[in-house]
Every structure is written in C-alpha cells, then in structure tokens.
Amino acid sequence: MTERSVAPRTRAPAYQERLRVLLVEDDEGDAFLVRELLHEADAPFDLRVATSLREARGLLPGIHCVLLDLGLPDAEGIDGLRKLLAVAGSAAVCVLTGRSDEHLGVDAVAEGAQDYLVKGQVDGVLLTRALRYAVERKRADENAQRLREVELRQAESARLERGLLPQPLMSTDRVAVHTFYRSGRAMGLLGGDFFDVVQVGDNKLQVIVGDVCGHSVDEAALGVELRVAWRALVLAGVPDDAILGSLEQVLMSERRAREVFATVASITLDLDVGRAVVRLAGHPPPVLLSGGRVGPVEARTGIVLGVSPKPTPATEVELSGDDWSLLMYTDGLIEGHTGVGNERLDVTGLCALLEEPAAQAVPLPALPAWLVGRAEHANGGPLADDVAMLLITRGNGR
C-alpha cells in the first residue's frame, strides 16, 4: 500500500453499529496505512491486527470482517484464503491484492470472499464502505442460506407427511375416519408417528397407528417405510396374525441402530358382525365411545416391535349397535402434565376429557383437535411430543 494516491480527507457518514475488523497483514507499513485510512474517514471500527494466519485464528471470535493480505508467511494466495474461510464462521472476508496480481481478487470472490481491494487504489471512505458492504453481503448470504434451509425442511416435511399420513384407502360409507397430526418439535418437522386405513373386501377395515421412538428425520423416514410396508402386507392378503411380525422384520432390517423400536396399535374392523380385533405392541389402547360411555378398550398388550420378536396378542371387542367411535392415538397426546404436580394425563385423563359436557358439543371431525387443545391447556403449553390420531365413527359415536 506504499503507492496510494492522495485523496481529499472526507468523513464517512456515522453508523450506529460499530464493527470489529481484523487485519491480517505482515507488513507493518501497510498495517499502519490501513489504520490511517480508517482514521481519516472517522470510521466507527475497532481494528485488530494479526501478522499471520495462525495468529488470526485466535482473534476471530467476535470479528465482523477480516481484511486479508494474500501474501502471508504461512499462507500464500488463494490457498491462504481457503484456510481462513474454513475457520471464519460468520465473519465477512475482504482480500488485499497488489496491482500486479489484481486477478487474484476476482478468484478470491469466486472462492467465497465478499470483496477485494487493490493496494494503493483506496482511500479511507472507499475502504470503510467496502468493509461495511462486505459485512452486509455476508449477512444477506447467511439469511438467504437460512431461508433455503427452511424451504428444504418444509419440502422434506411435506414429503414425509405424504408418506406418514396418507389418505385412508377406503370406499365404504358405513364408517367415517377423521385424522389429525401435530408436530411437537420446532420447525414443524414430522417425527416417527404414522397411521393408515385400508379397506379389505366390502366391509372390513384394517387400521394402524404407530410411533417410532425418536424425533429425527431418520425416525420419520423409518415410519414411512413401516407405514408403506404395512399397507403392502395388507393389500397382499397376508393373514392378520402375521402382519405385525412381518412389519417387525422390516423395522429390524431398516433401523439405523439396534435400540430403535416402535409401538403399534392395529385394529381389524368387521363392520358386518360389529367386531374389532385389537393388537397392541407396547402402544396405549384405543378409547371406545359408545352409548354415552367412554372407556379404554380392554386389550392385552404385547411387547414393542424391535426388542424381542414374538407374536402380538389379539383381543376381540364387540361393537354393539350402530352408534360408536374408536379413538386411536400416539402417546404424545397423553404424556403431557395435568397441572397437578408431575401427574400425566394418561389414558384415564383422556377418557375424563371425552366425558366432559363440552366434548359432547364438539363436532366429531373437530374432536381430535379439541382434545389436543385441552391437553395443551392442562399441560400449561404445547405438548412436547408429536401427536397422531385416528377417529373412526359409526353413527354419531356419542
């Protein structure tokens, strides 16, 4: 920077934000000149100086912008820039080039620098403006990246939702199926909860609700695989008592770790005879609403899928009359607190909610959402886990 042209002393406009700048320059004369340029422009910057890339690494925390000389003793040219960018984090980077290697500035921007300056061709105001613009461009780039990440998560969530929460595959009008899902995590990404309904024959329905342990995309993807595998097994005509065993084989072959398991509640509904065959693999029981009464289905519970493979017990339940509802749900609905010490809502509390007079006035399609609202109110805030529900109704179900 020893050849700089002399420009009239001009003050830069005052900015509210004071920026912290790190100059990485081994030439004392050039470092002094940068200080003078910023002083002459009355720039609201705090300047620190490092004479090597190694020294600069320890000074990076809290820095808004790095002004990097491309000729350092321990980092030369674009290779030095790459090493700095790898550790710069959210700091913007501007490079300094000489007149003879101005082309390096263009290459530096292509590598990820926000701007380049040619030694001897900048005054204080230009330097101040370049550093501040570099910081703003870096922030704009980070904001755009965050927006892209949000859009990708939303698209991913939409794909997972189509896999986990399909439209019921049924044509009968003898029952209605109302579905509900709410994510319990930030960003609204789906967890491993899934459900499905498939009609087999004229008046027989196969229904499943399941929950893969964990809350990451891996568990959601595994939930999709299990849901798709279950539908394929049902449509292929696999005997009812063999479906969950086959589903467990899929789980054990596709899971990322041996400790991953799933809970499942499945029901085979025979609408002609008014009977349900319930199979519970470590899952909370369905709730039956019939004749003005509410209570959990008294069904035997087997072990969760993926721990110790063994047949899941089946329990037959009579569905008398033409006026009943079955509520199937994942445990996220009943694990919230009730506001009384550490007491959880649990199945008993869920049945108590359904027995409230206010519940009787809620239209059946809106009942799952109403239940979640009441559970969140008792919990004192949003439920921590995902909630999936299926409400199968015949008649008005009250």
| Res. 356 pLDDT band, cuts 50 70 90 | very high
Both 27 and 106 in a single domain? yes
Q: Record the tokens describing residue 253, joined without a space.
A: 């072959």
Residue 16 has pLDDT above 60, yes or no: no
| Res. 7 pLDDT band, cuts 50 70 90 | very low
- CA separation for the pair 278, 346 (Å, rounded): 20
Residue type present at position 290: S
- CA separation for the pair 67, 96 (Å, rounded): 7
pLDDT of residue 199: 96
Of the residues 96, 111, 144, the one at which a domain ends = 144
Task: Assess if residue 13 is contained within a domain.
Answer: no
Both 255 and 337 in a single domain? yes
Closest CA to 92 of 126, 116, 124: 116
Of the residues 114, 144, 174, the one at which a domain ends = 144
Question: What order of strands is seen across the sheet that includes strand 19-24?
Answer: 45-50, 19-24, 65-69, 92-97, 115-118
| Res. 2 pLDDT band, cuts 50 70 90 | very low
Asked whether the CA dihedral 230, 235, 240, 242 is positive or negative, the reply is negative
- Give the chain's domain count: 2
- CA separation for the pair 93, 78 (Å, rounded): 13
Percent of the chain with pLDDT over 90: 57
Task: Assess if residue 6 is contained within a domain.
Answer: no
Task: Assess if residue 363 is contained within a domain.
Answer: yes
Residue 157 has pLDDT above 70, yes or no: no
- CA separation for the pair 355, 135 (Å, rounded): 60
Both 70 and 205 in a single domain? no
* Element of type H or E holding 10: none
* Element of type H or E holding 67: strand 65-69
Both 121 and 195 in a single domain? no
pLDDT of residue 152: 75
- In sequence order, what are the residues at sequence separation of 6 or more whose Cβ sits closer than 8 angstroms to the Cβ of residue 34? 1, 23, 25, 47, 67, 127
Task: Assess if residue 2 is contained within a domain.
Answer: no
Rounded to two decimals, what is the model's pTM? 0.64
Give the DSSP letter of residue 117: E
Q: Which domain holds residue 89?
A: 19-144
Both 95 and 187 in a single domain? no
Task: Give the domain CATH number at 109.
Answer: 3.40.50.2300
Residues 35-78 pLDDT 10s: 888 888 888 899 999 999 999 999 999 999 999 998 888 878 89
Task: Give the domain CATH number at 207.
Answer: 3.60.40.10
Task: Assess if residue 151 is contained within a domain.
Answer: no
Task: Assess if residue 4 is contained within a domain.
Answer: no
